[in-house]
Every structure is written in structure tokens, then in C-alpha cells.
Structure 1
Amino acid sequence: MKDENTYIDSGVLELFVYGTLPEDEMVKVAHEVLENKTLLDEVVSIEGALMQLSSAAAPYKPKFKNLNISFEKDEDVIPLSRKRTPITSYLGWAAALVLLFGLAYVYTEKSELENRIVDTERELLLQEGKTLVAEENLEQTKSLLDVVRARNVISIPLAGQEIAPEAYASVFWDKENNKAYIDVKGLPEPPEGKVYQVWSLTLEPLTPTSLGVLNEFDTQGSQLFEFSNPNSSEAFGITLEPAGGSVSPTLEQLYTLGVVQTS
């Protein structure tokens, strides 16, 4: 906007008060007047002066009360001055526009803030969940380590077989409590639709007994599993089977095998 004094001296405010500016200019000036107290005071002053001038210039109206004269209105007379839109209307429109834009801005900011709060809460819940899972896994691992380190637990290494020579696993057998803990860190990720199955074996004759399948096998997570083993095991083996496991081991898919050492 121009300097206030330059703006006032330009005569734009007088045209604004008279209502002779184009519609878009009226709205623009009204907006500037609303934002500038000096301009607003000037507009009020101009309107006040205009009202005084109109009052002073009003023609004398004689009383024809007692005269028997009638005047007929000429329907063809066209007024010389056009109707002027009240300045208050433009000020009202401008104020409404300012209020509308202000409300839209506040609503947008509020919505963005709410979205940021929701995202933050979701992230906090996710991190909290990860922390709880990590703590549970840590406690579980500590408990299992305490078990496998006990003196009465037998450690049986399982070596990789022909189908996977690089594979390996370990069995920690707690005979007193009929528990077997299987560490499968050395096994590769099973193919889709396949699971690893753990077997307790007696050798003569060869009799396999399933201890269970590793449904929750995860190369990136915990790889220590607990199974019940009330059997008189002489060896342990792990095979790759269809999802859900098999009644008997698929020997062609034998990944690891280890024999219990007798003292």
C-alpha cells in the first residue's frame, strides 16, 4: 500500500465514500481501511463531513398545506445521481472475508496439529510395544540361558547333513524335567510353505518321535525353542517338512543330526 498521507491525498477515500469506485476497487479499499486505523478514521471523517454538507445543502421545503394545488409525478423523470451502495456494506463484506480466511487458516492449522499429535501417539505406542517385546524376549532368553547352563542339562550338537552341510543346531536336554531346548541359529530360513520339525530318535531300531515344529522360526529373532521330551532319546534330528509337520520324518530333507553321548 502507498504511504498513508499519499493514499489520503490521492482522493481515493473520497471516491470510496461516494461509492463511485468500481466494485473490485471498493472491496480492495475496504480491506485496506479495515487494516489501517488512520485510513478508517479518515473515512469516518469524510462520511461525517458529507452528511453535514448534505444537511446544509438541503433545499427549503415550503408548506402547501393550505393551497389547493396538486402535483403529479412525472414517470419519465430519471434521477441524475445513481444510488450509492452504503460504505458499511463494503466494510462488512471485507470483514466477512477476513474472518472467513482467518477461520479457514485456524481450521487448517488445527487439523495439521491433530494429525501430528495422532502420528506422535502412534509412534510412541509402536516404540512402547517394541520395548515391551524386547524386554519380554530378553527375560525369556535369560531364563533359557539359566536352564541350559545348569549342570544336569546335556548338550547335544547337531551337525549339518548332505542337503545342508553348513547348517548346525544344538539341543539342551534337561532329563530330570523332561524338557529339550533347541537352538536353531545355524539353520537357514525355511522356504515358503515349509517348516522345520524336531525329532527324538532311538537308534535300534530307528524310531522317530516328533517333538514339534518350529512355526515361529525367525532368523532375525529368538531362535531358542522349548519342547517337552519325556522320551529315552538316543539322538535328535531336524528335518524340513510341509507346513503343519509330518507324521514321520522326510529323511531326504534331514538338515541336522546329533547323537547323545553316553558316559
Structure 2
Amino acid sequence: MDIKEYISSGIIEAYVMGLASEEEIRILDCVQKNNPEVKQAILDAQNTLEDFASQQAIAPPPALKSAIWAKISEESQPENLVEEVPVKPMEAPLYPSSIEPNKVPLKWFAIAASILLVASVALNLYLNSNQNNFKNELASLKAAQKENALAYQNLKSKWDLVTNPTVKAIPLLGVEKHPDMKAMVYFEQNSKEVYLALDNLPLAPKDQQYQLWAIVDGKPVSLGMFDQDAEAAVQKMISVTSAQAFAITLEKRGGSPTPTMENMYVMGKV
């Protein structure tokens, strides 16, 4: 196993973020026990994720403190003075007083309850905002990790083909109607396997697909359809023993028994 290639494959990031499968987790746990380099890479990834979470933390809104003090000031303002009307003193109260001078008035309980309510609402808003932002960032990280892993896999597939001495790379260049188009055919000369990559051909309509043709003894032979809905950028086509050239046409979904010449996009000689 190439440790550096294993570390750079994205499996460690997936492990730290909880995206790895159970089998990948078991393998990685086993590898890190016997390889300090892998164990250190896991620690580095964990530290990076923690640093990212700290940097993205949202401070409580500055207006929260002002809102609470404004509420206190509002509640503690003296009530509007009203004109005093003289009344005759009563010899005795109609009912005995049950409020002692040293007891806190009920009004202050209302003020405290209002403050707690404002603080609670503001804190909930802050926590919800912080949690939602973290979820969004985590979702973005997961999407980016998946995209990077896919890009790496596609690049590796092309690299494996290009560096294989038994594979012949055949560029297919745009015809007169599509001069800027390009595709690549990789022909494995021993096994006769054929691989196709659409370098810059536009996305085909939903009811159509690109079809690869091999020119064998002057006649077109279908090598199958390229599935643009698949994630693989390099796809294995039908094998062919020998060919003088390759071409790609745009056909109805599922393919055509004969190529539609006016819909030919690229062609290349072997």
C-alpha cells in the first residue's frame, strides 16, 4: 500500500467528518495502529476541523446587550405623575395591609421576568443562527470533499491510462461544424479494450447520447454509448480488435445502428 497516496485519497477527511463507511473505518483504524504517519495525518485533520469550527463561530449580536438594558430602563421609568386629590383621612383602613415595607414590589418581578424573556429569545436566536451556519458549512465541506474525491478519481483514471506503455492515446478533434470540440480514445493494444473521455463536448440533450464509432475496414462499427449521467469522466466502451479511426456522433438515446453523419462531432485516425 502506498501510504502517501492513501493519505491523499480523502479517506482521512471522510473519517474525521463521519462520512466514511464502516469498512473504511475498520481499515483505517487498523492502519493507524501500525503506521504513525497515518495516525499523525488523522490528528492533523481533526485539528484542522476544530480550527475551522472556531474560526467560523459567531459572536453574540452586539445589539443584545443594548436591547436588554433598554428593556430595563423602559420598565424602571417612573409612572406619569397624576394630580393629587386631597382625601379625608380614615380613622382605620378598610382592610389590613399585607405588604411589609421590606418586601420587593411585584413590579420588579415583572421587570425581571421581562429581562429573562428578552435574554432567552435573543440567546435562542443566536444559538439557532450559529447551529444553522455550522450545518451549512459542514454540508459545504461534505460536498467539496465528495467533489474533490471524484475529481481525484477521474484524474487518476486518466493518469493510469496515459502512463501505461501498452495504451495508445488517440485524440479525436472537431469536424468542420464543431472545430473546437475534442475527445480522447485510449486503446489498450494487448487486451483491445477501448476507453473514452469527452474532454469538452457539450452536455447532450436528455433524449440523446454520444455514440462512439470505430472505422474497421472502411465501415463504422458501434462501440457503445457514453453515459454523461455517470460520474466517471473516463468510461470503458466496447472492445475492438483493430480500427483505422474513431468518431463520435450525437444520436437518439440508446444509440443508432448507423451513424448520423450530419451529427458527427469529432474524429481521429489511429
**TM over 0.5, shorter chain:** yes
In structure 1, the residue matched to 2:258 is: 248
* 2:171 equivalent to 1:157: yes
In structure 2, the residue matched to 1:117 is: 131
In structure 2, the residue matched to 1:258 is: 268
Residue by residue over 1:236-258, the C-alpha shift from the partner in whole angstroms, topping out at 9 and shown as x without a partner, is 11111234443432211001112
In structure 2, the residue matched to 1:31 is: 76
* 2:156 equivalent to 1:142: yes
1:1-263 aligned at under 5 Å gives the runs: 31=76, 91-191=105-205, 193-204=207-218, 206-216=219-229, 224-234=233-243, 235-260=245-270
Asked if 2 retains the 8 angstrom alpha-carbon contact of 1:161 and 1:254, the reply is: yes
Q: Shift in Å at residue 58 of structure 1?
A: 7.1
Q: Structure 1 residues 30 and 181 mapped into 2: Cα distance closer, same or farther (>3 Å)?
A: closer
Q: Which moved more, 1:95-104 or 1:188-197?
A: 188-197
Q: Shift in Å at residue 166 of structure 1?
A: 2.5
The letter for the 1-side match of 2:198 is V
The letter for the 1-side match of 2:228 is N
Q: Shift in Å at residue 153 of structure 1?
A: 0.9
Q: Distance in 2 between matches of 1:147 and 1:255?
A: 23
Which runs of at least 4 in structure 1 moved beyond 4 Å after TM superposition? Answer: 81-90
Q: Shift in Å at residue 211 of structure 1?
A: 2.2
Q: Shift in Å at residue 97 of structure 1?
A: 3.7
Q: Shift in Å at residue 85 of structure 1?
A: 11
- TM-score of the two chains, using structure 2 as the length reference: 0.55
- TM-score of the two chains, using structure 1 as the length reference: 0.56
Q: Distance in 2 between matches of 1:155 and 1:144?
A: 10
Asked if 1 retains the 8 angstrom alpha-carbon contact of 2:220 and 2:259, the reply is: no
Q: Shift in Å at residue 152 of structure 1?
A: 0.9
The letter for the 2-side match of 1:252 is E
Q: Shift in Å at residue 170 of structure 1?
A: 2.0
Q: Distance in 1 between matches of 2:203 and 2:228?
A: 12
Q: Distance in 2 between matches of 1:141 and 1:116?
A: 37
Q: Distance in 2 between matches of 1:143 and 1:125?
A: 27
Structure 1: 5+ residue stretches without partners: 1-27, 34-53, 60-78
Q: Shift in Å at residue 87 of structure 1?
A: 8.9
Asked if 1 retains the 8 angstrom alpha-carbon contact of 2:224 and 2:255, the reply is: no
Secondary structure at 1:200 match in 2: strand
Asked if 2 retains the 8 angstrom alpha-carbon contact of 1:30 and 1:91, the reply is: no
Q: Distance in 1 between matches of 2:121 and 2:75?
A: 25
The letter for the 1-side match of 2:175 is Q
Structure 2: 5+ residue stretches without partners: 1-72, 79-88
Q: Distance in 1 between matches of 2:266 and 2:100?
A: 93
Q: Distance in 2 between matches of 1:136 and 1:167?
A: 24
The letter for the 1-side match of 2:252 is P
Asked if 2 retains the 8 angstrom alpha-carbon contact of 1:196 and 1:241, the reply is: yes
Q: Structure 1 residues 94 and 239 mapped into 2: Cα distance closer, same or farther (>3 Å)?
A: same
Q: Shift in Å at residue 140 of structure 1?
A: 3.5
Q: Distance in 2 between matches of 1:253 and 1:187?
A: 13
Q: Structure 1 residues 87 and 175 mapped into 2: Cα distance closer, same or farther (>3 Å)?
A: farther
The total of aligned residue pairs comes to 186
Asked if 2 retains the 8 angstrom alpha-carbon contact of 1:211 and 1:227, the reply is: no
The letter for the 2-side match of 1:108 is A
Q: Distance in 1 between matches of 2:248 and 2:186?
A: 14
